[in-house]
A = this chain, B = another copy of it.
Amino acid sequence: MTLPESYKQMFSTVSEDGKLTLALHEKSMPTPGADEIIVRIEATPINPSDHAVMFGGATMADASSSGEGVNKVLTAPVSSLAMAAMKGRVGQDLPVGNEGAGTVVSAGESEYAQSLIGKTVAVMGGASMYAEYRCVPATQAMPLLPDCTAKDGASSFVNPLTALSFVETMRLEGHRAIVHTAAASNLGQMLNKICQADGIDIVNIVRRQEQVNILKDLGARYVLNTSSDTFNEELIDAIDETGATIAFDATGGGSLASNILIAMEAAAARTPAAFSIYGSTKHKQVYLYGGLDTSPTEFTPRSYGMAWSMGAWLLPNFLAKADLDVGERLRMRVTEELKTTFASHYTHEISLSDALDSQIVERYNAKTTGSKFLICPQLEM
């Protein structure tokens, strides 16, 4: 197969004077090393976890696009406040796109690399998936089962591995049930399927009735709506019934994470025990893994007793700490259940150039619309 001499790849750049530029750069097609492969990227999702690098803290409401096709460029202003946090990246062209899938179109001389030619694989890591091609170590690609397309495999890592790793974290840290917020998300739905398959209780927290319905339709037993007048009481009841002492919170702001710790302590206090000023002894853990709620985070440690922890949870950090065979086991499960447990649904399929259109950006940047965009880099630009 003859490959083109160059290809297009998306880069995000924040300039010294506070301007974000998102554009397609021309890159030379590399020659793969012995253990490397070249993947023609056919499907790569836009996840919330891609936004931060893409948008660089810019005020996206003021974004605008110019140019057409491969020359389209998106620019947006970065406020001086936001620039303070961008110091580490000023002037650097950062690649974007955390995961995707496509066909292996070239390979180095090693036997394993050669064996992948023609196969459909999923790839994660290096944040360079918003591109027409990508050169990666052969072992970094995850071959899909024969009946899976690149679109099926585009979201094989971020959400599936996060959902599976929540359950791993729960087990590793000695808990037996989970509380999850923003629970009707793609990730949340996967987590419910995993928990049902593995016989783990999960307390789902959402904020709208339609989200309750989505999860109930999936067979979820505990689905609480924060807009209910009796939400706090329902939360204590559900935690008491399930024994959930670990929570994964996608909101990161407001009072939800704090209220979960308070509810866990209140649930523990229902079990008769000798009075202790230090509260219950079972460790209660809340992990913040997202930032959907940008309001200040409430934190009242004196209400949590003396056996609790709140901390950040990040997939790469978890996998780096976990035993190697854990990552391998989780990837295996994703491969096998890609069209069931880990099926993703996209509302829009767009080209690399479309992804730089300010009106389209506005839609995939909105966190509440329920739309999910897939970039198909082989679409005509």
Contact = CB atoms under 8 A, between A and B. Distances in A.
Interface string A331-356: 00000000000000000000000000
A94 interface: yes
A142 B190 CA distance: 54
Contacts of A283: 317
A52 B277 CA distance: 7
Nearest to A294: B302
A53 B274 CA distance: 13
Interface stretch (A23-31, A32-40, A203-211, A305-313): A305-313
B320 A312 contact: no
Nearest to A320: B281
A308 B89 CA distance: 22
A314 B307 contact: yes
Given A92-B275, A281-B317, A252 B301 contact: yes
Contact of A299 (B88, B297, B313, B314): B297
Given A299-B299, A317-B281, A275 B88 contact: yes
A304 to B, nearest CB: 7
Given A291-B302, A299-B299, A309 B311 contact: yes
Contacts of A320: 281
A354 to B, nearest CB: 24
A67 interface: no
B317 A312 contact: no
Contacts of A275: 88-89, 92, 94
B300 A308 contact: no
Interface string A180-221: 000000000000000000000000000000000000000000
Given A92-B275, A302-B252, A317 B311 contact: no
Contacts of A298: 299
Nearest to A92: B275
B306 A308 contact: no
Interface residues of A, number: 36
A314 B310 contact: no
Interface in A270-302: 275, 277-278, 281, 283, 288, 291, 296-302
A280 to B, nearest CB: 10
A170 to B, nearest CB: 16
A285 B308 CA distance: 13
Interface string A87-112: 01100101000000000000000000
A313 B269 CA distance: 19
B307 A297 contact: no
Given A291-B302, A296-B300, A312 B314 contact: no
A306 B301 contact: no
Contact of A301 (B92, B269, B297): B297
Given A92-B275, A305-B312, 9 more contacts: A52-B277, A89-B275, A252-B301, A278-B314, A297-B301, A304-B312, A306-B313, A307-B314, A309-B311
19 contacts: A88-B275, A89-B275, A92-B275, A94-B275, A252-B302, A278-B314, A278-B316, A278-B317, A281-B317, A288-B301, A291-B302, A298-B299, A299-B299, A301-B312, A305-B312, A306-B312, A308-B312, A310-B310, A311-B311
